[in-house]
Chains A and B, each alone.
Chain A
Amino acid sequence: MLDALPSRALISFRGVRKIYGVGEATVHALGGVDLDIEAGSFVAIMGASGSGKSTAMNIIGCLDRPSQGRFAFNGVDVTHIENDARALLRRNYLGFVFQGFNLLSRTTAAENVEMPLIYRGAKRAERRALAEQALNAVGLLGRENHVPSELSGGQQQRVAIARAIVTDPLVLLADEPTGNLDSQRSHDIMKLLRELNRERGITVIMVTHEEDMAAYATRRIVFADGMIAKDTVGAR
């Protein structure tokens, strides 16, 4: 089941299992998944609730580790690396957009976007400039000094995207980025993700329940009971 040679794909799962709980209460969130995602693709992950989508995303995002199997990032096996090494991977190559936005309250849009740069040790002026660029890219220029409670849901999600792309990541991970938004705003966000994918070459992996949104992707992976049930390339 284990592949001796790591794949040359950007992201590669080999027999990845994620098991929660012990004894009777054991849940196999992922049941031995093999998956390769090439750099530059725009992937939509779909599937019923509880099918293991978020679990897979968390492993790809180096937030979680597989219980079994191997996970390689950019050709390097990172299954067993230290917490700090995973944090460095997140910092340098990954951008996250969460379903619940997860912005810091009472903190302005600009400060939220600057945060990843603070941990990279960027200078204040550089941070300002990059945050402004990122906010510009998501069409939020002029709202830098608003705190999340002063922004609409769509605007908050765009701040979250700006925060994810401000470090110029290789991969942008978005777990149900439009889950809280109405249809018009959802399409706006999708167009933004597609643009980031096409124009900046960022690999985008997103979870969605909606066909409309999945239609923006170039590849569609459907999960069922912790396994990949369907994997179609070249949608649209």
Chain B
Amino acid sequence: MLWESVKLALRTVQRNVLRSILTLLGIVIGVASVIALVTIGQGATDKVTSDLSKLGSNILLVRPGGGALGPPGGNDSRSFTERDVNDLRDIPGIRAMSGSARSTKTVIFEGSGQSVEVTGAEPGYFETLDWAFTAGGPFSDSDNRGGETHCVVGQTVVNNIIRRDPAVGETIRVDGVPCEVVGVLAVKGNSAFGQDQDLTVIMPLRTFQRRVAGNTRISVITISVATPQDIQDVQAAVADSLRDTRKLPPNVPDDFTVRDMTEMAQALSSTTAVMTGLLGAVAAVSLLVGGIGIMNIMLVSVAERTREIGIRLAIGALGGQVLTQFLVEAIVLCLIGGLIGATLGAAIAFAGSTALGIPFSFDAGVAVLAVAFSGLIGVVFGYFPARRAASLDPIEALRHE
């Protein structure tokens, strides 16, 4: 009986191919977006995790503000001062460190300009992050202390703005401040969020504070540890020193966070998970709309086939059997939509992952779940029309034209 219902349902779908496809659009889009979003989100998380682990297990990032990962240097949190940073320098086990601040500014060279993320940092920044140069080198400590207008640029700045070989020795204007290029960074490509990491200008922190930002805030302190095993000790020492310098009484929680990269990776993953969840909710709404479409078409189908239902009831079909038939039809319809959606979603995710340069992390479990969920939509939204079919009066139904 069940198998007969499935066969009958497939036949009905086949008879109304166009109508079925149009009806299924909502489900298809819903399932496709769920799968595409989850897959791309997972890929992004994987990419972030692997990027961060590439950075090494010996890096500590210190940011103002306690608790969860928020926007760096938010206004409400107390940024670091030069004293905060200087007091950290004597902590044993630190290989290199740098306070830094950043801001998006227009960078101009000979009339061509673009918005660029400009970072002010100490020379230790490059050593801390193990950044390599393709031309020139970092600015010096005396550049920083003297507030010299020197800068290091990423390859995209060279390609898009300077467009001259060699770029070293040219003078660009950062927010109107002329800066001499002393080094070009090795290419790093896109970040997990599709941001071009080579569209960057780095200048001495002092210079940045005085000439570009107009304040003395330091929003991040980057520290690299000589031996990764020591990282916990250094982390604790950094926290103690900062509490001391910032004069935090014992009962007040930290107004800064010291994280190593594994923690960062976790925090970022949970951020992407929240994003994925939100987008998933959007997809769920489209599934709901799809479900209503299914209900609508099933009601139309019941109305159109009233006579057929009358015949079936007259020759001995029980109400339950008619109900099953229409329910199975709705489920089959939704499952077809789910399968099409899953395939489409995987294809979109594949194309998207390739375009964003992140891994294609397709999760078959999610696909199965999404298809099963569309089946459930069939049950929920097919039930009412099926009930209507099953409760038809055979005489009335037979009389129906």
- A121's contact among B1, B308, B310, B311, by CB below 8 Å, is which? B1
Q: Is B334 an interface residue (CB 8 A)?
A: no
For residue B321, which residues in chain A have a CB less than 8 angstroms away from its CB? Answer: 119
Q: Is B327 an interface residue (CB 8 A)?
A: no
Q: Flag the segment in B140-148, B167-175, B312-320 that touches A.
A: B312-320
Q: Is the CB of A96 within 8 A of B317?
A: no
Q: Is B165 an interface residue (CB 8 A)?
A: no
What is the CA–CA distance of A163 and B314 in the complex, to the nearest angstrom?
A: 12
- With known contacts A84-B318, A116-B316, A102–B1 Cβ distance under 8 A: no
Q: Is the CB of A106 within 8 A of B15?
A: yes
- With known contacts A58-B395, A64-B395, A102-B398, A87–B316 Cβ distance under 8 A: yes
Q: Is the CB of A84 within 8 A of B320?
A: yes
Q: Is the CB of B319 within 8 A of A96?
A: no
Interface string of B7-48 (1 = CB under 8 A from A): 000000001000000000000000000000000000000000
What is the CA–CA distance of A87 and B311 in the complex, to the nearest angstrom?
A: 12
Measured CB to CB, the closest approach of chain B to A121, in angstroms, equals: 6
Measured CB to CB, the closest approach of chain A to B305, in angstroms, equals: 9
- A88's contact among B307, B311, B312, B316, by CB below 8 Å, is which? B316
Q: Is the CB of A90 within 8 A of B395?
A: no
For residue A115, which residues in chain B have a CB less than 8 angstroms away from its CB? Answer: 312, 315
What is the CA–CA distance of A16 and B102 in the complex, to the nearest angstrom?
A: 94
For residue A120, which residues in chain B have a CB less than 8 angstroms away from its CB? Answer: 316
What is the CA–CA distance of A39 and B317 in the complex, to the nearest angstrom?
A: 25
Chain B residue with the shortest CB-CB distance to A54:
B395
What is the CA–CA distance of A83 and B321 in the complex, to the nearest angstrom?
A: 13
For residue A116, which residues in chain B have a CB less than 8 angstroms away from its CB? Answer: 315-316
What is the CA–CA distance of A87 and B321 in the complex, to the nearest angstrom?
A: 11
Q: Is B394 an interface residue (CB 8 A)?
A: yes
Q: Is B90 an interface residue (CB 8 A)?
A: no
Measured CB to CB, the closest approach of chain A to B400, in angstroms, equals: 11
Measured CB to CB, the closest approach of chain A to B291, in angstroms, equals: 28
Q: Is the CB of B314 within 8 A of A63?
A: yes
For residue B110, which residues in chain A have a CB less than 8 angstroms away from its CB? Answer: none
The tally of residues in B whose CB lies under 8 Å from a CB in A reads 20
What is the CA–CA distance of A39 and B318 in the complex, to the nearest angstrom?
A: 26
The tally of residues in A whose CB lies under 8 Å from a CB in B reads 26
Measured CB to CB, the closest approach of chain B to A95, in angstroms, equals: 8
Q: Is B76 an interface residue (CB 8 A)?
A: no
- B319's contact among A84, A103, A118, A164, by CB below 8 Å, is which? A84
Q: Is A48 an interface residue (CB 8 A)?
A: no
Q: Is the CB of B15 within 8 A of A90?
A: no
What is the CA–CA distance of A14 and B147 in the complex, to the nearest angstrom?
A: 113
- A87's contact among B4, B307, B313, by CB below 8 Å, is which? B313
For residue A106, which residues in chain B have a CB less than 8 angstroms away from its CB? Answer: 15
What is the CA–CA distance of A103 and B15 in the complex, to the nearest angstrom?
A: 18
What is the CA–CA distance of A88 and B394 in the complex, to the nearest angstrom?
A: 13
Measured CB to CB, the closest approach of chain B to A88, in angstroms, equals: 7
Within 8 A of B (CB), among A158-181: 163-164, 167
Measured CB to CB, the closest approach of chain A to B201, in angstroms, equals: 72
For residue B312, which residues in chain A have a CB less than 8 angstroms away from its CB? Answer: 115, 119
What is the CA–CA distance of A70 and B313 in the complex, to the nearest angstrom?
A: 23
For residue B317, which residues in chain A have a CB less than 8 angstroms away from its CB? Answer: 87, 91, 119
Q: Is the CB of B15 within 8 A of A91?
A: no
- A90's contact among B4, B308, B315, B320, by CB below 8 Å, is which? B315
- With known contacts A102-B307, A118-B1, A90–B316 Cβ distance under 8 A: yes
- With known contacts A84-B320, A121-B1, A96–B315 Cβ distance under 8 A: yes
Measured CB to CB, the closest approach of chain B to A144, in angstroms, equals: 17
Q: Is the CB of A87 within 8 A of B398?
A: no
Most buried by A among B307, B315, B394: B315
Chain A residue with the shortest CB-CB distance to B391:
A83
Task: Offer 23 A-B interface pairs, CB within 8 angstroms, sorted by A.
Answer: A63-B395, A84-B320, A87-B313, A87-B317, A87-B318, A88-B318, A91-B315, A96-B314, A96-B315, A98-B398, A102-B310, A102-B311, A102-B314, A103-B311, A104-B311, A106-B15, A116-B315, A119-B1, A119-B317, A119-B318, A121-B1, A163-B315, A164-B315
